[in-house]
Amino acid sequence: MSEATGLIPPWLLFLPQLPAKPAYARVKVWRRLAEIGAVAVKNAVHVLPNGAQSREDFEWLLREVEAAGGEAAICEANLLNGLSDEDVRMSFNAARDQDYERIAAEIRDAQNRADFGKPLGADDRAELTGRLKRWRRQFADLTAIDFFAAPARRAAETLIAQMEADMSDAQTITKPSPNLALAALRGRTWVTRQGIKVDRIACAWLIRRFIDPEARFKFVSGQGYAPGPDELRFDMFEAEFTHEGDRCSFEVLLARAGLADPALGSIAEIVHDVDLKDGKFGRAEAPGIASVIDGIAVSTAEDERRLSRGSDLFDGLYANFSRAPA
């Protein structure tokens, strides 16, 4: 507190000194400064509006700097000469405007690419739904560090609302696909796109493990494939089992096959979070499963081999979720 005025100084300054090596420590600190909304005013001097949250953010960052072998100081400050309070506020708004404008540009690009004059297909709707959720999260994160109501905030907020309205107008009202008897799904050849990843691997595992142990699989190029009389398609264009609304193909197949198993429900949530990347279920396992599936895809070109390795993964998940509570 200023002895002269008795008022709390309006700014907190963070002055870090980091060793030259390791370089990643500097990158980590600068990234963290950006995350909490600090702006640089002079070389390595960063500033936040003085308040309890800002003080806590800087104190945590000070510990990180010290853990990396550096030093830091946190100071309360009044700006007396040279740089003015208004200059600093303008710096904050310029930084936030840049962030809001990036979101706005992505939304405008999506609006230009989407044809909202006709009903959206399941794949387009799922992709846009996932992107809209990400934009909402990014906007919420930005407003938390938008200390002085940056001018570009209103435009980004309006574009998000417009995108939501456009998607709502483009929704098709359809009856849910009917559930099927398991007998009707046996003795078939199941067809999907080549280069299988998480949703297609999970679907194929579900089919062979719970629907038809003798199921045959065919991996084709994709759009334009005409199925034979005993073939069923999944997770591909115009497939009998594919994305519906915000549900991935595994979720659709699980529901329509009538497999009400809590362990399979848990797996469905993980597959959804990995495939659609919208964080709908917030499954903690999703990032690890995504990494394993990516590893299988990178190291294995043949789809049958990918399915074999992926099936081992899903067998383990199912066994884990099926265990009785200790």
In sequence order, the 6+-apart residues with CB closer than 8 A to the CB of 77 are: 9, 10, 11, 12, 13, 47
pTM score above 0.75 = no
Between CA 90 and CA 149 the distance in angstroms is 10
Are 90 and 77 members of one domain? Answer: no
Burial profile 54-65: b = 16 or more Cβ within 10 angstroms, e = fewer? beebbeebbeeb
Of 47, 66, 81, which residue is a domain's last? 81
Is residue 5 included in any domain, yes or no?
Answer: no
Between CA 277 and CA 263 the distance in angstroms is 21
CA torsion, points 234, 239, 245, 250, in degrees to nearest 10? -10
Which secondary structure element, helix H or strand E, spans residue 303, and what is its range? helix 303-322
Between CA 139 and CA 144 the distance in angstroms is 9
Q: pLDDT tens, position by position, for the chain (326 residues)?
A: 444 444 788 999 999 998 888 888 888 999 999 999 999 988 789 999 999 999 999 999 999 999 889 999 999 999 888 889 999 999 999 999 999 999 999 988 887 777 555 556 667 777 788 888 899 889 889 999 999 999 999 888 888 888 877 776 555 434 445 555 677 788 899 999 999 999 999 999 999 999 999 999 999 986 678 888 889 999 987 888 988 877 899 999 999 888 889 999 999 999 999 998 888 888 999 999 999 999 999 999 999 999 999 999 999 999 999 985 54
Please count the structural domains in the chain: 3
Given the structure tokens 């072998």, which residue do they identify?
Answer: 69
In sequence order, the 6+-apart residues with CB closer than 8 A to the CB of 239 are: 191, 192, 232, 233, 249
Are 15 and 138 members of one domain? Answer: no
Kindly report each contact of residues 314-317 with a partner whose C-beta sits within 8 Å and lies 24 or more positions away, as own/partner: 314/201, 314/202, 314/205, 314/206, 314/209, 314/267, 315/205, 315/209, 317/266, 317/267, 317/270, 317/285, 317/289
Is residue 3 included in any domain, yes or no?
Answer: no
Are 166 and 200 members of one domain? Answer: no
Are 36 and 163 members of one domain? Answer: no
Full domain range(s) for residue 162 = 86-170
Of 170, 198, 228, which residue is a domain's last? 170
**Residue 306, CA atoms < 13 Å, CB-side half-sphere:** 26
Q: Compute how many other C-beta atoms are within 10 angstroms of the C-beta atom of residue 199.
A: 25
Between CA 132 and CA 145 the distance in angstroms is 20
Is residue 176 included in any domain, yes or no?
Answer: no
Is residue 177 included in any domain, yes or no?
Answer: no
Are 244 and 148 members of one domain? Answer: no
pLDDT at 150: 92
Are 165 and 203 members of one domain? Answer: no
| Residues 12/48, Cβ–Cβ less than 8 Å | yes
Are 57 and 133 members of one domain? Answer: no
Quickly list DSSP for 130-195: HHHHHHHHHHHHHHHT-TT--TTHHHHHHHHHHHHHHHHHH----PPPPP--GGGGSS-EEEEESS
Is residue 72 included in any domain, yes or no?
Answer: yes
Is residue 175 included in any domain, yes or no?
Answer: no
The CATH number linked to 42 is: 3.30.70.930
Are 44 and 61 members of one domain? Answer: yes
Are 264 and 209 members of one domain? Answer: yes
State the Rg of the chain over Cα: 26
Of 170, 205, 234, which residue is a domain's last? 170
In sequence order, the 6+-apart residues with CB closer than 8 A to the CB of 46 are: 13, 14, 15, 16, 33, 38, 39, 40
| Residues 91/39, Cβ–Cβ less than 8 Å | yes
Is residue 127 included in any domain, yes or no?
Answer: yes
Strands in 189-193's sheet, in edge-to-edge order, are 216-220, 189-193, 231-233
